[in-house]
Amino acid sequence: MGQKKDLTGSEKSKIVRYLAEGCSSLKIAKLLKRDHRTIKRFIQNSQQGRKKRVEKPRRKITAHELRKVKRAAAKMPLATSLAIFQSCNITGVPKSTRCAILRDMAKVRKAERRPPLNKTHKLKRQDWAKKSLKTDFSKVLWTDEMRVSLDGPDGWARGWIGKGQRAPVRLRHQQGGGGVLVWAGIIKDELVGPFRVEDGVKLNSQSYCQFLEDTFFKQWYRKKSASFKKNMIFMQDNAPSHASKYSTAWLARKGIKEEKLMTWPPCSPDLNPIENLWSIIKCEIYKEGKQYTSLNSVWEAVVAAARNVDGEQIKTLTESMDGRLLSVLAKKGGYIGR
């Protein structure tokens, strides 16, 4: 017997809708004419976290040494295992053992780039996720800005170097050499933009609205049909220039108001699928440690990378929203992986 096909994006969306309506997994399986085990597996996989690491036998150190390591790890955030053990004068412990010991009391983490969520943030994120379970995300235009620099993000210029070869010199521009601010949107399987914010312009409420008028509205939105405009939902985050009274009133005059302007929860870049598009573009323009000598050249690279993002990739991002909602509910409002 041939293997059955995986659940399609449409089927996954229907499962989320049926769950919001209170249907059981068995009823959903009958409605979709799919195996009950397949439906249950999808629901479980959407909510389960990362599997715990299987512990392996390791070299033992004394209880006194363990206490010293624990104190050192607390005093030296983001330090390497070698630095922590050396500060405790513990030598002769292989890296695998050091890491295994530290896993009992610490985690390997990068410096936090996202602000910690407080109780109010988490409650608002949960409330938003619950209210959005019945939203038709194929009608949502997800928007955001991204800044790209000449040198790229710190720490990206890494890779294997052959024995006997020297690492290439990586130049740094004074103060980073400036950057280009880019705005774009995605809806269903379509990319809107990208559009470049004029160099030197600081986006406040007035300049943001004028930018939307000159780019999004004149170059894309006005070409759409009346039925499309009637159903489209505009999403933007809570940046001051976006959420101000001036911008809200200006968008309302354009017909984007009430249910057509999505309410966005605080501190939620992880819930916006366009953030993943920015990652795709940055990986492309900075691959192999690529650097740029002018703002125009980095902008041209962004445009070229955006053209290479096909409709299926964008559709995968926009159809990921149902899974994101389930994840944020399972994490009780906490951050989810993107």
Q: Name residue 234's beta-bridge partners.
A: 141, 261
Q: Are residues 188 and 308 in the same domain?
A: yes
- 97-142 tens-digit pLDDT: 888 888 888 877 666 667 789 999 999 999 999 999 999 999 999 9
CA 283-275-206 angle, to 5 degrees, is: 120
Q: Are residues 134 and 246 in the same domain?
A: yes
User: No. of H helices and E strands in the chain?
Assistant: 16, 4
- 247-267 tens-digit pLDDT: 999 999 999 999 999 999 999
CA 68-73-78 angle, to 5 degrees, is: 160
DSSP assignment of 36-93: HHHHHHHHHHHH--PPPPPP-------HHHHHHHHHHHHHSTT--HHHHHHHTT--S-
- For 201, the 3-state DSSP assignment is coil
Residue pair 194/147 in contact by the 8 Å Cβ criterion: no
Average pLDDT of span 224-252? 96
Helices (H), 156-217: 205-212
Q: Is the pLDDT of residue 233 over 70?
A: yes
77-81, 309-313, 330-334, range with the lowest pLDDT: 77-81
Highest mean pLDDT among 6-20, 73-87, 260-274: 260-274
Q: Are residues 262 and 204 in the same domain?
A: yes
Would 317 be classed as within a structural domain?
Answer: yes
The CA distance from 262 to 237, in Å, is 9
Q: Are residues 219 and 314 in the same domain?
A: yes
Q: Is the pLDDT of residue 175 over 50?
A: no
Say what the pLDDT of residue 304 is: 97
- 46-75 tens-digit pLDDT: 766 555 556 556 567 888 999 998 898 888
Residue pair 334/122 in contact by the 8 Å Cβ criterion: yes
Say what the pLDDT of residue 45 is: 82
Say what the pLDDT of residue 95 is: 87
Would 18 be classed as within a structural domain?
Answer: yes
Would 82 be classed as within a structural domain?
Answer: yes
Query: Which is it for strands 179-187 and 140-149: parallel, antiparallel or unpaired?
Result: antiparallel
Residue with structure tokens 């870049």? Answer: 269
Q: Name residue 143's beta-bridge partners.
A: 185
Residue pair 72/84 in contact by the 8 Å Cβ criterion: yes
For the chain, what is the mean pLDDT? 87
Look at the chain and report how many structural domains it folds into.
3
Query: Which is it for strands 140-149 and 233-235: parallel, antiparallel or unpaired?
Result: parallel
Q: Which residue has the higher pLDDT, 144 or 156?
A: 144
Say what the pLDDT of residue 51 is: 56
Would 210 be classed as within a structural domain?
Answer: yes
Highest mean pLDDT among 34-43, 73-82, 162-171, 256-265: 256-265
Q: Are residues 100 and 188 in the same domain?
A: no
Say what the pLDDT of residue 170 is: 54
Residue with structure tokens 């109780």? Answer: 119
Q: Are residues 218 and 301 in the same domain?
A: yes
The CA distance from 193 to 219, in Å, is 9
The CA distance from 77 to 71, in Å, is 11
| Boundaries of domain holding 87 | 63-105
Which domain CATH number covers 284?
A: 3.30.420.10
Q: Is the pLDDT of residue 40 over 60?
A: yes
Taking the whole predicted model, whether its pTM rises above 0.85 is answered as no
Would 269 be classed as within a structural domain?
Answer: yes
- 212-221 tens-digit pLDDT: 999 999 999 9
Residue pair 27/18 in contact by the 8 Å Cβ criterion: yes
Q: Is the pLDDT of residue 325 over 50?
A: yes
Say what the pLDDT of residue 171 is: 55
Q: Are residues 31 and 71 in the same domain?
A: no
Say what the pLDDT of residue 1 is: 43
Say what the pLDDT of residue 274 is: 97
Would 164 be classed as within a structural domain?
Answer: no
Residue pair 142/235 in contact by the 8 Å Cβ criterion: yes
Say what the pLDDT of residue 321 is: 96
Would 171 be classed as within a structural domain?
Answer: no
Q: Are residues 257 and 217 in the same domain?
A: yes
Query: How confident is residue 174, by pLDDT bands cut at 50, 70 and 90?
Result: very low
Residue pair 182/196 in contact by the 8 Å Cβ criterion: yes
Would 172 be classed as within a structural domain?
Answer: no
Chain length of the chain: 338
